[in-house]
Amino acid sequence: MATTNQRPPDRDLLSLNTATVRERWNLKEMIAGCARHGIRGISPWRDKLAELGAKEAAKMIRDHGLTVTGLCRGGMFPAADRQGRKRAIEDNLRAIDDAATIEARCLVLVVGGLPPGSKDIAGAREMVRDGIGEALDHARSSGVPLAIEPLHPMYAADRACVNTLAQALDLCDELDSGGGGALGVAVDVYHVWWDPELARGIERAGEKRILAFHICDWLVPTTDLLLDRGMMGDGVIDIPRVRAWVEQAGYRGFHEVEILSAKNWWKRDPDEVLSTMKERHERFC
């Protein structure tokens, strides 16, 4: 896929994934902070949403004029037995209901890894396929698209056995062959930047399948594979190139900043984090 010289990103397309400031703020503070800093999008995590309550959160988000770019997260479908898989489905149905209440543009799926004691990754992927299939009708009827987020292969065992955009799109094609918009993907640069087939996968996904675009940076060295993500511009990801690819594919949605950073950004004043997000979004995205 060709790339072109890009204009600076639209400031109104910046969104806060609340994981970025989760250690210092509750959801009320996150909503107010976004409004105060002129950040127009927000993507809550379910633990923070549960603390406030979905209905109260929905009212606050509307009152502050924010767009909910996603709800994090559903998924975690594989389990060691039938009862465990049933509980996972029930949890995803509740997540869909909460996403509908807050009018989220999608429910992000971190699909899950191998059940405890298992070495059968193919079997885990079958459970993922079946689990998404069981939740999809409820998502359709609720008006909540499901966004499969492929995670970096380092998470294949414990968090997500879907690790490339191509794998995620194969599931979309199998379960939502009509491409009606009920099932798509979340493109998170932290997880997919390394993939030599990324440009081709984004082009294949196209406007209908790309439901979310997440940004941060990959630090070198990375001291913790989960909790050492970088602010845009501090690492090695060519974020403007990936942004160009998703826009060429037809994506016109938000740029959602999701930074899990135990040693750095989680320790800082959240207002400083949001100010830095805005500046780095314009400079490095």
- Mind listing the pLDDT tens digit for each residue in 2-19? 555 578 999 999 999 999
At residue 7, the pLDDT reads 85
What mean pLDDT do residues 255-274 have? 98
> Within a domain: residue 67?
yes
Read off the pTM: 0.97
CATH (domain of 169)? 3.20.20.150
Interval 104-135: pLDDT, tens: 999 999 999 999 999 999 999 999 999 999 99
Look up residue 23 and give its two tokens.
């250690």
- The first and second tokens of residue 280, run together, are 């780095």
Specify if 3 maps to a domain. Answer: no
* In a domain? residue 6: no
Number of domains in the chain: 1
Task: Give yes or no for residue 179 having a pLDDT over 90.
Answer: no
In a domain, 131, yes or no: yes
Residue 124 C-alpha from the chain's centroid: 21
List the alpha helices (DSSP H) in the chain: 27-37, 46-52, 54-63, 82-101, 121-142, 165-175, 189-192, 198-209, 239-248, 270-284
pLDDT over threshold 90, residue 165: yes
pLDDT of res. 221: 97
Please give the average per-residue pLDDT across 52-73, as a whole number.
98
Residue ranges making up the domain that contains 120: 11-284
Check whether 34 has a pLDDT greater than 70.
Answer: yes
2 occurs within a structural domain: no
Look at the block and give the residue holding tokens 């938000």. Answer: 254
Whether 241 is in a domain gets the answer yes
pLDDT in tens, 92-108: 999 999 999 999 999 99
